Amino acid sequence: MKDLGHGANVEQIARMYNKNPKDIIDFSSNINPNVIQGLEEYILEGLQESRSYPDIKYTNLRNNISQYIDVRPEFIIPGNGATEIIYLLMKSIDKRIAILNPTFSEYERSARLNNLDVINLNLDESNEFEIDLNNIKTATDLELAANLFKKVVSTDNILTTDKNGKCTIDDLDVGVYLLYATDISNYENITPFLVSIPSWNEADKTMSYDINVIPKHTKIIEEEKPKVPATGYDNKAYLYLGVGTCLLIGSSILFFGVGKKKKKCEK
């Protein structure tokens, strides 16, 4: 995919095409064309305070935003535009990320500057902007892509597993399908996954249309129960508060059987 850069560089475009910058309408940025009423007054008021460094913790700003949007101040991170926030976000990620393109170029740039592995998933213009999955090389990449797709795609069908945790999907067309659990009923976490029809069968070296899948599943980590506070009694007696809870956590394995009549594949 063509690298279009950051954008929002009107002066460079004006020089390139010998145009007046004021005659160029920039659609590459989301700058608000509506100026806030009385903005000049606020700017002049701020200049009076510019003789010293501002509060590096943005205390007043965060408190005001907190009251306006009803979010605790410690959860608010002001930034000099979205780009600064994106770069701060990448510093907190310590694994690979998948980026759906085309998108804002600073996502990839900030990720690579922070030494993150990037998987680019490009929309194929020549194929009705379908996602090109050729950049997926490993099982880890596949899992990462599935988690990304879960956030951006709509659900077509919802199936309920039987008492053994199995369900079957018949007569699917050739393609790639995303499957994920919507209700795990406190059993185990089920990792979203992608299934390709047909898929390569390593055992008999053929393309298979009948596929059995056991998704990756992990136990739910129980939160640590809070300790019983001291009672403050002066005598030697101790107060014990016991709550008995019986939790039956089954080893829930979700089986998906995908059936399709075998067809001849042409390269």
pLDDT in tens, 242-262: 333 322 333 333 333 444 444
d(CA 183, CA 132): 29
Compute CA distances 23 → 11, 18, 32, 248, whole Å: 11, 11, 17, 69
Higher-confidence position of 111 and 166? 111
State yes or no: pLDDT of 239 exceeds 50. Answer: no
Q: What pLDDT is recorded for position 254?
A: 34
Q: What's the mean pLDDT in 180-204?
A: 78
Please say whether the beta carbons of 24 and 10 come within 8 A.
Answer: yes
Please say whether the beta carbons of 32 and 42 come within 8 A.
Answer: no
Reported as a single tens digit per residue, the pLDDT across 96-128 is 888 888 888 889 999 999 999 888 888 877 777
String of DSSP letters for 145-209: HHHHHHHHSPP-------TTSEEEEESPPSEEEEE--S--TTSEEE--EEEEESEEETTTTEEES
Q: What pLDDT is recorded for position 256?
A: 37
d(CA 77, CA 92): 13
CA angle at 124 for the pair 5 and 128, rounded to the nearest 5°: 125
Cα-atom radius of gyration of the chain, to the nearest Å? 27
For residue 4, the SS3 value is coil
Q: What's the mean pLDDT in 184-200?
A: 77
State yes or no: pLDDT of 233 exceeds 60. Answer: no
Q: What pLDDT is recorded for position 153?
A: 72
CA end-to-end span of the chain: 25
Q: What's the mean pLDDT in 9-18?
A: 88
Report which secondary-structure segment, H or E, holds 110: helix 106-113
Q: What pLDDT is recorded for position 138?
A: 76
d(CA 178, CA 184): 17
* % of residues, the chain, pLDDT over 70: 75
Compute CA distances 47 → 53, 58, 72, whole Å: 12, 17, 29
Q: What's the mean pLDDT in 154-175?
A: 78
